[in-house]
C-alpha cells in the first residue's frame, strides 16, 4: 500500500522540527513517521492514503461534537463570510459568557483566552495578585501548560529520580527553564491527603493557590480518591490560598459543569480549554467576582490580539447549545458511550488473559494501562508500573486495523456524541485481535 505519510514525514523533517508542530503528534510519540491526516467526518478520520479510522482521540478532547458536525459547518460557513477576526468587543462574546456564567455556579465572571497554557498563566498571575502571595502548590504528574513556573514533574521519570514521596524532587521537564522561574512552585504527591496536609502546614500561609486537575489526565486517566478534592478545597480555605481547578481537559467532557460538578466542588478560579472551542482555539479563566476583579483596569495584566476570536466564539456557542439541548443529552451520551467503551475493553482484556491490563476511566474519558497492578492511583504508580512501550505497540497495531488512539500511554481516549455502539463493537474486535497478535 502507498505510504504517503512516510514521504510527507521525510519532507517535513527538512522544514519542520521533528516533521510536526508538537511532540505529541510526532516521532517522540509514534516512534517514527506519524499518520498524516487528510480530513474527518463524524467519528472518522481519513489519512492521506485514504485509510479510514474510528477516532477515539478527538483532537485530544477538543471535539465533543465530532468532526465536521453539520451545525459547526453551517455556523463557520456563515460567519467566515462576515469576517474572521476584529479584535473588538463582540455581541457573541457577551452571549457565550452569559451561557457559561449561568451554567457554572462557581463562576461569576469570565475572561476569554486562546489556549489552556495561556489561561493557566493568567490564572497563576491573578492568584498571586489577589493574595499577595508567591508560592504555587501543584501535584506530581499534573500538567498546567508549558510555561516555566509549572513545567516541572509532568513527564514520567524513573522512580529512583523522584525522591521521597513526602518531599518530591522538583524536576524541570525542559532545558531553558531557569531555576528562579520555579523556585516558588511546590510539588506534592497527588491523591495523598496526608502529603497535602503536611505541605499545607509548611507552605499554606505563603501559597497563592493550590492547582489541580479534577482527574489526573496527563498520566492516562487517574480519578481522585473519594473526598480527596473536597479536603483540598477545605485546606485552601483554612490557609487562605485560592483553590484553582484546571478543567482544560475535563471541562465539557465529564459533565456540563466539568469535574467541579462531578465532585461537588466550588473552586475560586477555574480554567477551560480544548472542548470549550469545539475545534477552534478557545480558552477561559473564570471565578468568583472578587477574584476576577483583579483583571480590571490592568491591575493584573492579560492582553491578547486574538482573545475572544469571533469564529471560535460562534463555534463555542454552537457546542454549548448542542451539548446542553434536551436536558443536557449530549453530556449524557458521551458519558454513556465512554462507560460502555471502558466496559468492553475490560471484557476483551479478561477474555484474552495474556496481558496484564487495567482500564481506567471517568465518564467520557478512558485509558488502557498495561500493568500487573490492580489500579494506578498516582504519578509514581504510573512511572513504576505502567509499560508505556507495550501500549505504543498496542496503539500502532490498532491503527493498522482502523482504530485511532494516540500511542502515548500518558494521554487517553474520549467519546463524542457521534460515536456509536457499532464503533465500540468494532474497536473491541480489533483490540481482541491485537492482543492475540502481541508478544
pLDDT digits (tens, 9 = 90+) for 213-243: 999 999 999 999 999 999 999 999 999 999 9
- pLDDT single digits (tens) 331-382: 999 999 999 999 999 999 999 889 999 999 999 999 999 999 999 999 999 9
CA distance 60 to 62: 6
Q: Locate cell 457559561: which residue?
A: 100
Cβ 242 vs Cβ 274: under 8 Å:
no
Helix, strand or coil for residue 67?
strand
C-alpha 192/C-alpha 381 separation (Å) is: 13
Arithmetic mean of pLDDT, 138-148: 97
pTM: 0.96
Residue whose C-alpha is closest to residue 328's, from 405, 252, 430: 252
Q: Which of 312, 335, 340 is nearest to 64 (CA)?
A: 335
Please name which of 357, 280, 313, 329 lies closest in space to residue 96, comparing C-alpha atoms. Answer: 313
1 pLDDT band (50/70/90 cuts)? low
Q: b/e map of 83-103 (b: 16 or more CB within 10 Å)? A: eeeeeeebebbeebbeebeeb
Alpha-carbon gap, residue 413 to 155, rounded angstroms: 19
- State what percent of residues in the chain have pLDDT above 70: 100
pLDDT tens for 285-311 read 999 999 999 999 989 999 999 999 999
* pLDDT tens per residue across span 38-84: 999 999 999 999 999 999 999 999 999 999 999 999 999 999 999 99
Res. 23 pLDDT band, cuts 50 70 90: confident
Are 405 and 29 contacting, i.e. CB atoms less than 8 angstroms apart?
no
Mean pLDDT of 143-162: 96
Q: How far apart are CA 299 and CA 320, in angstroms?
A: 31
Name the 3-class secondary structure at 127.
Answer: helix
Q: What gap in Å lies between CA 293 and CA 111, rounded to an integer?
A: 11
DSSP character at residue 359: E
Domains of the chain by start residue, with CATH? 70-321 (3.40.640.10)
Amino acid at each position: 500500500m502507498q505510504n504517503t505519510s512516510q514521504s510527507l514525514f521525510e519532507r517535513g523533517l527538512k522544514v519542520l522540527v521533528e516533521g510536526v508542530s508538537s511532540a505529541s503528534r510526532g516521532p517522540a510519540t509514534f516512534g517514527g513517521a506519524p499518520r498524516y491526516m487528510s480530513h474527518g467526518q463524524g467519528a472518522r478520520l481519513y489519512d492521506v492514503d485514504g485509510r479510514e479510522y474510528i477516532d477515539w482521540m478527538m483532537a485530544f478532547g477538543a471535539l465533543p461534537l465530532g468532526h465536521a458536525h453539520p451545525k459547526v459547518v453551517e455556523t463557520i460557513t456563515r460567519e467566515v463570510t462576515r469576517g474572521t477576526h476584529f479584535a473588538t468587543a463582540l455581541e457573541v462574546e457577551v452571549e457565550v459568557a452569559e451561557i457559561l456564567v449561568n451554567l457554572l455556579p462557581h463562576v461569576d465572571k469570565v475572561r476569554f483566552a486562546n489556549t489552556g497554557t495561556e489561561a493557566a498563566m493568567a490564572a497563576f498571575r491573578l492568584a498571586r495578585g489577589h493574595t499577595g502571595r508567591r508560592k504555587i502548590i501543584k501535584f506530581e504528574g499534573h500538567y498546567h501548560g508549558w510555561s516555566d513556573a509549572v513545567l516541572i514533574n509532568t513527564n514520567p521519570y524513573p522512580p529512583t529520580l523522584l525522591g521521597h514521596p513526602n518531599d518530591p524532587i522538583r524536576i524541570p521537564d525542559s532545558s531553558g527553564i531557569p531555576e528562579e522561574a520555579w523556585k516558588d512552585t511546590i510539588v506534592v504527591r497527588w491523591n495523598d491527603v496526608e502529603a497535602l496536609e503536611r505541605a499545607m502546614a509548611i507552605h499554606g500561609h505563603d501559597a497563592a493557590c493550590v492547582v489541580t486537575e479534577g482527574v489526573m489526565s496527563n498520566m492516562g486517566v487517574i480519578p481522585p480518591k473519594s473526598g480527596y478534592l473536597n479536603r483540598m478545597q477545605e485546606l485552601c480555605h483554612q490557609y487562605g490560598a485560592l483553590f484553582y481547578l484546571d478543567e482544560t481537559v475535563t471541562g465539557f467532557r465529564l459533565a456540563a459543569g466539568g469535574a467541579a460538578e462531578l465532585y461537588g466542588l466550588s473552586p475560586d478560579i477555574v480554567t477551560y480549554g480544548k472542548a470549550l472551542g469545539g475545534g477552534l482555539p478557545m480558552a477561559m479563566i473564570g471565578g468568583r467576582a472578587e477574584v476576577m476583579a483583579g483583571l480590571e483596569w490592568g491591575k493584573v495584566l492579560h492582553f491578547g490580539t486574538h482573545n475572544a476570536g469571533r469564529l471560535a466564539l460562534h463555534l463555542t456557542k454552537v457546542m454549548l447549545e448542542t451539548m446542553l439541548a434536551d436536558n443536557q443529552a449530549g453530556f449524557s451520551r458521551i458519558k454513556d458511550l465512554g462507560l460502555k467503551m471502558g466496559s468492553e475493553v475490560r471484557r476483551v482484556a479478561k477474555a484474552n488473559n495474556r496481558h496484564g491490563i487495567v482500564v481506567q476511566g471517568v465518564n467520557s474519558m478512558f485509558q488502557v494501562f498495561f500493568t500487573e497492578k490492580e489500579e494506578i492511583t498516582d504519578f509514581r504508580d504510573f512511572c513504576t508500573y505502567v509499560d508505556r512501550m507495550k501500549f505504543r505497540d498496542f496503539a500502532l497495531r490498532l491503527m493498522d486495523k482502523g482504530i485511532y488512539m494516540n500511542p502515548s500511554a500518558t494521554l487517553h481516549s474520549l467519546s463524542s456524541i457521534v460515536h456509536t455502539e457499532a464503533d465500540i463493537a468494532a474497536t473491541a474486535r480489533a483490540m481482541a485481535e491485537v492482543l492475540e497478535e502481541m508478544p
